[in-house]
Structure 1
Amino acid sequence: MERKVKLEIKGSVAKIVLNDAENYNPLNQEMAKELLVVLDQLRNNEDVRCLTITGSGKAFSAGGDIKTFKESIEEGKPGEVMDNLLKNLYKIALILRQYPKPVIGVVNGWAVGAGMNLALSCDLVIASNKAKFRQSFSKLALIPGFAGTILLSRQLTWQQATEMAFFGETYTAEDMVKLGLVNEVVDSERLAERANEMASKLASGPTLTYARTKKLFFDALSEPLVDHLENERQMQIKSAETQDFKIGVFAINDKKEPEFIGK
């Protein structure tokens, strides 16, 4: 049986592909388990310095698996099935925000429900001009899952977040750029090329610094200002002791491009 998650590594960039195009790459139990394995595998691979996540076929991900939901209702255990599914999905949501390497969501088509929030959990998001986004949870009488209530409420105004969550309407990639949820829109024919350009640029950068920046961003969501400023100060001291800091300083002094090593 073909794997639901494909992994391609070229140089220092890993490309993760959700690989169930026939079903629009649903985030079911099988997909979630395989994605967790791949993320864990890449975490300690020092040769990989940046990740991209994309979908196969016409969708990035259709989100929840309606077939599974229907079966769970017919079997009289929808809560139990949902609980088992969410354990892995919420692990993924947390892992991506705390991942020690840059992660780019490359949205090639439909990103619906949890599929949309998988993309928004990445550090950067680029989308095809054919991509469509939808918080479809309300259509199923569900709340915005896969960290949706955090992602929307902290990145949008209250009114924008409630409109998106309550109505479950479709947003274009251009709409998402205007809302600040997508970084860039490119022609579908250039999406893979542009994703590789962006990933390669990040992979050649000071990746240890990126990891530390992500940690501070994440911690800032819950830390008091006084504590966070001290943590930021201490992290900057540690950053000044890295090899990359030395490389950067001497490169600028010599008017050259730095060649960072992530250490």
Structure 2
Amino acid sequence: MSNSIELKIENKIAFIILNRPDVFNSFNREMALSMQEKLDNCASDSNIRAIVISGNGKAFCAGQDLKEVTEPELNPGFRKILEEHYNPIIKKIRTIEKPIIAAVNGVAAGAGANIALACDVVVAVESASFIQAFSKIGLIPDSGGTFFLPRLIGFQKASALMMLGDKVSAVEALNMGMIYKIFPTGLFEEEVKSLAETLANMPTKALGLTKRLLNQSMTNDLVAQLDLESDLQIEASSSNDYKEGVTAFVEKRKPEFNGN
């Protein structure tokens, strides 16, 4: 069985590690299907309360493995690549009601960049970079890039980066609002784990409902969003975590959330 995607579970955190370092963790069909399987496993396991996506080696993900699309006997065709590989990955990342961190450990290019940007929290090592590389080979951005990037950094900036294919450093990405934080190389793994542990120990139900609200805010008008906030606040207020949070506040102690 291939190990193109590694799954490690530790302290309520699932680490999904892209593991084709010899090709900068670029995706082929087997890897994309394995990624979907790992995401499904994380969604269904109630013991997992936070997910980290990162890469082995020097890169986070270089996007599509071009060998797969240039060799006729391997090429599944772009419709299958998008509809069966990348689109399901993006949909799963956005609909799993658990916090998902993209820990960008190196270059994130093409679909690799856009998979990262679909996550709830994006952090990067100081040497990382982001590239909308599609125009360099005559393609258009996919994997949700045209949806998320303009919302993160604005229409004009996103348009320029997608058309010109500029490399964006981690510092530039932070300054333009593309990512949440950057960490020094020597502290990257430690800081990512600390962030994931913080999220894993928070009220998972409320975080999941917050994620659902953010998803709907992309298309709702104000009235619809206010109505949805009311509905989901009622749902959140019936959770065990809400009861624990209020009790801990009154008792002036740290809450111990169980994710329900």
What range is the shorter-chain TM-score in?
over 0.9
Q: List alignment gaps of at least 5 residues for structure 2.
A: none
Q: Which amino acid aligns with 1:239?
A: A
Partner of 1:174: 171
Partner of 1:28: 28
Counting aligned pairs with the same residue, the percent is 35
Partner of 2:71: 71
Q: Deviations over 1:57-101 (max 9, x none)?
A: 1100000111122224xx7x97x6111111221011111111111
Partner of 1:194: 191
1:120 shift after superposition: 0.6
Structure-1-length-normalised TM-score: 0.95
Q: Please give the secondary structure, in 1, of the residue aligned with 2:16.
A: strand
1:112 aligns with 2:114: no
Instruction: Judge conservation of contact 2:108–2:131 (CA < 8 Å) in 1.
Output: yes
Aligned length: 259
Partner of 1:147: 144
**d(CA) in 1 for partners of 2:90, 2:246:** 35
Q: Please give the secondary structure, in 1, of the residue aligned with 2:37.
A: helix
Q: Please give the secondary structure, in 2, of the residue aligned with 1:200.
A: helix
* RMSD, matched Cα: 1.4
1:13 aligns with 2:21: no
Tell which deviates more after alignment, 222-231 or 122-131.
222-231
Which 4+ stretches in 1 moved above 3 angstroms? none
**d(CA) in 2 for partners of 1:206, 1:118:** 25
Q: Please give the secondary structure, in 2, of the residue aligned with 1:261.
A: coil
1:188 shift after superposition: 1.5
Partner of 1:81: 77
Partner of 2:122: 125
Instruction: Judge conservation of contact 2:117–2:149 (CA < 8 Å) in 1.
Output: no
Q: List alignment gaps of at least 5 residues for structure 1.
A: none
Q: Deviations over 1:163-218 (max 9, x none)?
A: 11011011110000011111111111211111110000000000110000000110
**d(CA) in 1 for partners of 2:245, 2:80:** 46
Q: Which amino acid aligns with 1:101?
A: K
**d(CA) in 2 for partners of 1:156, 1:184:** 15
Structure-2-length-normalised TM-score: 0.96
1:247 shift after superposition: 0.6
**d(CA) in 2 for partners of 1:119, 1:100:** 17
Partner of 2:245: 248
Partner of 1:238: 235
**d(CA) in 1 for partners of 2:152, 2:132:** 14
Q: Please give the secondary structure, in 1, of the residue aligned with 2:57.
A: coil
1:224 shift after superposition: 2.8
Q: Please give the secondary structure, in 2, of the residue aligned with 1:111.
A: strand
Q: Please give the secondary structure, in 1, of the residue aligned with 2:54.
A: strand
**d(CA) in 2 for partners of 1:99, 1:220:** 17
